[in-house]
Chain A
Amino acid sequence: MALVIENVTKLVEKDCHINDISLQLEPGTFNVLLGRTLSGKTTLMRLMAGLDKPTKGRILMNGQDLTGVSVRERDVAMVYQQFINYPSMTVYKNIASPLRLAKVAKAEIDRKVRDVAEMLRIEKLLDRMPAELSGGQQQRTAIARALVKDAELLLLDEPLVNLDYKLREELRAEMHEIFKRRNSIVVYATTEPPEALALGGNTAVLYEGRLEQFGPTVDVYQHPQSTRIAQAFSDPAMNFVAGSVDATNLRLGDAMPSALEQHLNGLKPGKYQFGMRANHLQLQSRTATDIEFQANIDLAEISGSETFVHVTHNGAAWTVQQQGIHQYQIDEQIKVYVNQARLYVFDLDGHLVASPDNASRQLT
């Protein structure tokens, strides 16, 4: 019993929005569709919901072909970017609406509405109208309405994108709890890597309508199979530097050569692209083996507790993520350090060759 997508292609006019995607999603799983805007996330969701029909391929739910089945006859719930509620109904009635349409008994409706409202922390707002709520509360209402009917397929299309960052932070932290212990297939589209990671489950990375990688979220994050996936699944985007390896040494950009260590041992001599996550670049050397680059500061962006230093090295734009607040002058010359143990190695076609060992993070 699962949602099976078989070689699905979707053309709109002549543009290919979804290009030959196959995917199987199991009940009780949480699945993130990760990709930039226009990567095909929304199109794929609409296909799953049965709002659109694929140009080629089939979509099966519990073994039954969905083509030709009206979305109204199907057991699907959806949450959108915009906060969509019935404006003339109270929060209670909004949440209850799918159950009323399904002709569920009054007492049962009441129990379910109150349960789900409590889980989303809007139990005190049930008598209010949507217009009297903040954006975050409106979206909580929309999510509650989607959850209340226990649909077998629950689709969420960037539900947090229109919330300001404090509300996004709060709701993101709760999402994991909210979707736990459900029998539905939950599909969640987002452009934000931290959201995907916080939600856990599986992640499918989409790029220009193609499925690039699908697997447990942490695996995809730690072992992105291509530079594209690494870019989509890093925030800030992964930094790249061209380099080469010979029998014993590693050369990165214009940095001094250094002896090969750890996971880089055994790389075939040749040219590679090396990927470095923003939080692995340092502005102070930590160990003697750190590789040192010269760079020019473009801009230091400051979030509340971190500094993102945008630098240029040999024409490549990098971002260095630093803890704490630091001020830098534009066009200041600085040194950037990276440790070999942190390097992702891709061949010149962008395929992953080696990734850092992930033994560093364990629950003890």
Chain B
Amino acid sequence: MNKWEDNKAWFMVIPVFLVVAVSAILPLMTVVNYSLQDIFGPDQRVFVGLEWYKDALTDSRLHDALKRQLMFSSLVLLIEIPLGILIALMMPKKGWGASLSLVLVALPLLIPWNVIGTIWIIFMRPDIGLLGAAVNGLGIPFDHTASPFAAWVTVMLMEVWHWTPLVVLLAYAGLQAIPEAYFQAARIDGASAWSTFRYIQLPKMRGVLTIAVLLRFMDSFLIYAEPFVLTGGGPGNSTTFLSIYLVKLAVGQFDLGPAAAFSIIYFLIVLLFCWLFYQVLLKVGTGDKP
């Protein structure tokens, strides 16, 4: 057998390697390089070893941002996944109703992220915003620029409104893929709606829900544009999530070394959580005992 024939395939994947190298690996290496130096100007830098990492890991503002971030992402998953499944279950399965509801559900996904922030700023304004004014009109003081609680509620609302549709679409696709025979068998076995959901629909949706959880976790963990536009991380630091803090550090204070070290840590945290989720979700529902 010809060696050349055997190895020809490798040449085919070279373009992909190049793209990945330029787009991911090279910048990452630059960041690793920066994270080990103290940078004063284009030609003025000092090698400082792991100092920035030590600083970052002991930085209480980073800890706070991480706690906030975990809180935020947990809330996102706890709300969006069940809500998404619920909406998917309620959607019509066929006919024009199915197409129409799909289009309606998908609408928020079609709007650019920064526009979403602007929409919600206007929507929530206590003086002229539809929701903001309505809530204040009921006598409940609500101003996301003044109260941390109101800021959180606003960011959560916006996030849920924007991204639950993605979960809905995934869950809906998962539900549509279940053969009709399962539902017929369940009816014949006398299963209640809850049993049908618990023993047929939920297990059969496991694959798509795994993807939904991973996507939503990663995206929410990396959230930047919407809170930046809406609250700018405030009031105070109450909505300063990891990415906002990172940008404040890197761009605002122009301290590239610590920002680079922070980025690497951030990256590792995301990777770790994704791996954990993946492992757990993979085991649920397979094997005799998970």
Contacts and interface: CB of A to CB of B under 8 A. Distances in A.
In their complex, do chains A and B touch, with some C-beta pair under 8 Å? yes
Interface of A: 53, 55, 67-68
7 contacts: A53-B1, A53-B5, A55-B1, A67-B1, A67-B2, A68-B2, A68-B5
Lowest 5 A-B CB distances belong to which pairs? A53-B1, A68-B2, A55-B1, A68-B5, A53-B5
B215 to A, nearest CB: 34
Binding site secondary structure of chain A: loop
Nearest to B4: A68
A223 to B, nearest CB: 38
B241 to A, nearest CB: 47
A285 B5 CA distance: 65
Contacts of A68: 2, 5
A53 B1 CA distance: 8
Contacts of A55: 1
A67 B1 CA distance: 8
Nearest to A56: B1
Nearest to A55: B1
B1 to A, nearest CB: 6
A53 B2 CA distance: 10
Interface of B: 1-2, 5
A170 B181 CA distance: 34
A55 B1 CA distance: 7
Contacts of B5: 53, 68
B279 to A, nearest CB: 27
A20 to B, nearest CB: 16
Contacts of B2: 67-68
B263 to A, nearest CB: 41
A68 B3 CA distance: 12
A53 B3 CA distance: 13
Contacts of A67: 1-2
Contacts of B1: 53, 55, 67
B51 to A, nearest CB: 50
A67 B2 CA distance: 9
A47 to B, nearest CB: 13
B4 to A, nearest CB: 10
Nearest to A54: B1
A55 B6 CA distance: 11
A70 to B, nearest CB: 11
A136 B14 CA distance: 46
A87 B224 CA distance: 48
A92 to B, nearest CB: 36
A204 B2 CA distance: 30
Contacts of A53: 1, 5
A55 B2 CA distance: 10
A293 B262 CA distance: 85
A322 B19 CA distance: 69
B237 to A, nearest CB: 56
Nearest to A53: B1
A55 B5 CA distance: 12
B2 to A, nearest CB: 7
B7 to A, nearest CB: 14
A16 to B, nearest CB: 16
A67 B5 CA distance: 10
A67 B6 CA distance: 13
A223 B2 CA distance: 41
B281 to A, nearest CB: 29
A355 to B, nearest CB: 41
A68 B5 CA distance: 8
Nearest to B2: A68
A68 B1 CA distance: 9
B182 to A, nearest CB: 26
B153 to A, nearest CB: 53
A71 to B, nearest CB: 14
A225 B5 CA distance: 40
A239 B2 CA distance: 47
A50 to B, nearest CB: 13
Nearest to B6: A53
A10 to B, nearest CB: 11
